[in-house]
Amino acid sequence: MKFSSVILALFALVSTGLADKSCTPSFDYCSDLLIKSKGFTEADLKDVLKGTDLENEPLKNILFHCKNPGIVGHPKLCQSGCKDPEQEGSHKCDG
């Protein structure tokens, strides 16, 4: 019985951690918004950049595309920095 309780508790922890990350599919986000209010960490976003030509760019210059709730990808470099629009939704880099 104890083993099943431990498994259930671990599952709950993992599920809770995954559920905390949330973004609207097909919308674009700057790193600051993803970190401040969407449950992502700086490490999450750096992991997305690993193996890309943007791996060494500052996160503040990257626009991330939400592929599924809790999953971002398709990073794009914003030369003049990424700025989220006033209203949530897809947008392009300012420069």
pTM, whole model, 2 decimals?
0.75
Q: Which two tokens stand for residue 43?
A: 């490490």
Q: For residue range 36-81, what is the model confidence (pLDDT) as tens digits?
A: 999 999 999 999 999 999 999 999 999 999 999 999 999 999 988 9
Tokens 């990073």 belong to 75
Q: Give 1's contacts (C-beta < 8 A, 6+ positions apart).
A: none
User: Chain-centre distance of CA 87, in angstroms?
Assistant: 18
Residue from 53, 76, 52 nearest 63 by CA: 76
Q: What does the pLDDT read at residue 48?
A: 96
Q: How confident is the model at residue 16 (pLDDT cuts 50, 70, 90)?
A: very low
What's the CA gap between 33 and 44, in Å, rounded? 13
Domain layout of the chain by residue ranges: 22-95
Q: How confident is the model at residue 86 (pLDDT cuts 50, 70, 90)?
A: confident
